[in-house]
Chain A
Amino acid sequence: MKIGNYQLPNMSSLLLWGLLWEIIGRSGMTFFVPPLSEVVMTLFSVIGTPAFIKALSETAYAFFAGVFFAIAIGVPIGVLMGKSRLIDELLLPWVNMFLSAPLTALVPVLMVLFGFGMKSIIITTTLFAIWIIILNTRAGVKQINRSLIEMARSFGATARDAFFKIYIWAALPEILNGVRIGVIRAVKGVIIGQLLISIVGFGALFELYSANFLMAHFWAVLIVLFAMAFAVSELLAYLERRVSYYASTR
């Protein structure tokens, strides 16, 4: 954004929206929206409380475990689909279906299968993140230069070597892109899991605050959550830019 000749820093438009929020909050139009200043104050008072730390660690644990499994399972499946026509034709319809399916509807089934604990939450998180990771990895592998693979074969690469030294790296820009979108979806997954399966972590805080009409607390936690999701996503976007230089020369 520019004002006159002065280039404003990125996302300075947020200031405008923050101001609007403050005005609406102060006007007392609705108790759902306390003034932003109050939310920020609450935010600093909430951070550091044992309840918040507990919620954060529970959520972070479920989130990172879920993302870990989504990557550890999704990337190899994507590579296999990109390599093998047969596996691709077997799995692609399912991957596409789950990618666009309303996964929230599956959560009750997961609860029946895996109980009401952390396990179900992690599986929900994985289910939200994994499909786009598979699809992107597959797309990345499909456009690997054939001669790189022939090169590896001609120098005697084993299947394991080819996977770790060629496929993963050659598809890395697409894989990172998939992981970035997957991570954003995983945030959704972990919160939905915490709200629907067992009321723990941030889900429990949301539940607690909204049930007791502590709207400033509610917004404060939401802002923290948004900020963390945004930070992870930006970190991955940064990594993506670092490797994209070779996307065109593979």
Chain B
Amino acid sequence: MSQTKEAFAKATALDTEIAVSTRNICKNYGAVEALKNLSLDFPRGQLTSLLGPSGCGKTTLLKIIAGLLEPTSGEVEVNGRLVTGPGPNRAFVFQDFALLPWASVMRNVAFGLELRGVAKSEREAIAERYIREVGLAGFEKSFPHELSGGMRQRVGLARALSVDAKVLLLDEPFSAVDEQTRRKFQEDMLNLVAHENKTFIFVTHSIEEAVFISDQIAILLPRPSRVSEIIRPTGFRNRDMGNIRRDPEYLDIVDQIWASLRSYVE
């Protein structure tokens, strides 16, 4: 009895460490190798960025983790279970928001729950809570075309949060919003990581953004795509948000990443 208990404790201890892991992922499009032998671990409760020049396969990797694309070889594990397709333990936030233009904010946010067969009153109660949480209270009845880009992505974020998936996959979520909204988003993201017990996988091509919000940054390089480096900013992570951007470590890491990426940017 005590033995099983101990084994169980060990297993959960190990389990809390890595939420998502990809092993030897290869993805070929015909003769083109989009991803080659990519292995990467994503610690639970943290935000990992996939950063790299365009065409380095970061979105491809994210969609493989989501189960939207099938790898040519290799496997993905989420909470110790093999991924064979999309599943309720992951939620996706899309670069272009992917909102239903014919549906209100309320229905859009509740849409993930609607697809899972949650009753209308229940899913609207949940959606309402997350609409408030992302700061869109009062816009429940609005339609996407009446909202700004930043507000639309808040809807996308609320939709992903409301299905209560343990892993959130974000595909360049802030690239289509303006710079100021983007900064606000990044700060909100830090709060979200701190308060929601979720694992975030975040694709971006902005070095500053990655360093600002990430617990772990995986630098992906193209031709053939691979993980070249993993960086864990630690020094400024627990400090006040307002001071991160002038923290020496922040600036050093940004410089260092740019130095390793610049030769790949034409």
- Contact residues in A for B112 (Cβ distance below 8 Å): 155
**C-alpha spacing A119/B98, complex, angstroms:** 44
At the interface, yes or no: A152 with Cβ under 8 Å from chain B?
A: yes
Q: Are B145 and A246 in contact (CB under 8 A)?
A: yes
In-complex Cβ contact of A157 among B63, B91, B115, B144 (8 A): B115
Q: Are A150 and B94 in contact (CB under 8 A)?
A: yes
- Contact residues in A for B90 (Cβ distance below 8 Å): 154
- Contact residues in A for B116 (Cβ distance below 8 Å): 155-156
Q: Are B96 and A147 in contact (CB under 8 A)?
A: yes
In-complex Cβ contact of B101 among A151, A152, A153, A246 (8 A): A246
Closest chain B CB from A106 CB (angstroms): 38
Query: Which of A152, A156, A172, A246 counts the most chain B CB atoms within 10 A?
Result: A156
At the interface, yes or no: B86 with Cβ under 8 Å from chain A?
A: yes
Q: Are A150 and B145 in contact (CB under 8 A)?
A: no
Q: Are B95 and A147 in contact (CB under 8 A)?
A: yes
Q: Are B102 and A155 in contact (CB under 8 A)?
A: no
Q: Are B102 and A243 in contact (CB under 8 A)?
A: yes
**C-alpha spacing A250/B143, complex, angstroms:** 12
Q: Are A249 and B92 in contact (CB under 8 A)?
A: no
Chain B contact surface mostly:
loop
**C-alpha spacing A145/B87, complex, angstroms:** 22
In-complex Cβ contact of B86 among A153, A166, A246 (8 A): A153
> Which residue of the partner chain B has the closest CB to A161?
B115
At the interface, yes or no: A94 with Cβ under 8 Å from chain B?
A: no
A152-B115 contact given A246-B101, A249-B101, A249-B145, CB 8 Å threshold: yes
- Which residues of chain B from 134 to 173 have any CB-CB distance to chain A below 8 Å in the complex? 143-145, 163
Q: Are A151 and B94 in contact (CB under 8 A)?
A: yes
Q: Mark B59-90, 1 if CB is under 8 A from A, else 0.
A: 00001001110000000000000000011101
At the interface, yes or no: B241 with Cβ under 8 Å from chain A?
A: no
In-complex Cβ contact of A155 among B101, B111, B144 (8 A): B111
At the interface, yes or no: A169 with Cβ under 8 Å from chain B?
A: yes
At the interface, yes or no: A245 with Cβ under 8 Å from chain B?
A: yes
- Contact residues in A for B100 (Cβ distance below 8 Å): 148, 166, 169
- Contact residues in A for B94 (Cβ distance below 8 Å): 147, 150-151
A155-B91 contact given A245-B145, A246-B145, A249-B145, CB 8 Å threshold: yes
In-complex Cβ contact of A145 among B66, B98, B115 (8 A): B98
- Please, how many residues of chain B have a CB less than 8 angstroms from a CB on the other chain? 26
Closest chain A CB from B249 CB (angstroms): 35
Q: Are A156 and B98 in contact (CB under 8 A)?
A: no
**C-alpha spacing A157/B117, complex, angstroms:** 10
A156-B86 contact given A147-B95, A151-B98, A172-B102, CB 8 Å threshold: yes
Closest chain A CB from B89 CB (angstroms): 11
In-complex Cβ contact of B68 among A145, A150, A250 (8 A): A150
- Contact residues in A for B86 (Cβ distance below 8 Å): 153-156
- Which residues of chain A from 121 to 179 have any CB-CB distance to chain B below 8 Å in the complex? 145, 147-148, 150-157, 161, 165-166, 169, 172
> Which residue of the partner chain B has the closest CB to A245?
B145
- Contact residues in A for B115 (Cβ distance below 8 Å): 152, 155-157, 161, 165
Closest chain A CB from B42 CB (angstroms): 17
Q: Are A145 and B96 in contact (CB under 8 A)?
A: yes
**C-alpha spacing A250/B103, complex, angstroms:** 11
Q: Are A246 and B96 in contact (CB under 8 A)?
A: no
In-complex Cβ contact of A169 among B68, B98, B102 (8 A): B102
**C-alpha spacing A145/B95, complex, angstroms:** 12
Q: Are B102 and A154 in contact (CB under 8 A)?
A: no
Show the binding face of B for A, using Cβ within 8 Å. 63, 66-68, 86-88, 90-92, 94-96, 98, 100-102, 111-112, 114-116, 143-145, 163
25 pairs across A/B with beta carbons < 8 Å?
A145-B98, A147-B95, A147-B96, A148-B98, A148-B100, A150-B92, A150-B98, A151-B92, A151-B98, A153-B86, A154-B66, A154-B67, A154-B68, A154-B86, A154-B90, A154-B91, A155-B163, A156-B87, A156-B88, A165-B115, A166-B100, A169-B102, A245-B145, A246-B101, A246-B143
- Return the 7 tightest CB-CB contacts between A and B, nearest first: A246-B101, A151-B98, A147-B98, A155-B112, A154-B92, A249-B101, A155-B115
19 further A-B contacts with Cβ under 8 Å, apart from A154-B66, A155-B111, are A145-B98, A147-B98, A148-B98, A148-B100, A150-B63, A150-B92, A150-B98, A151-B92, A151-B94, A153-B86, A154-B91, A155-B112, A156-B87, A165-B115, A166-B100, A169-B102, A172-B102, A243-B102, A249-B101
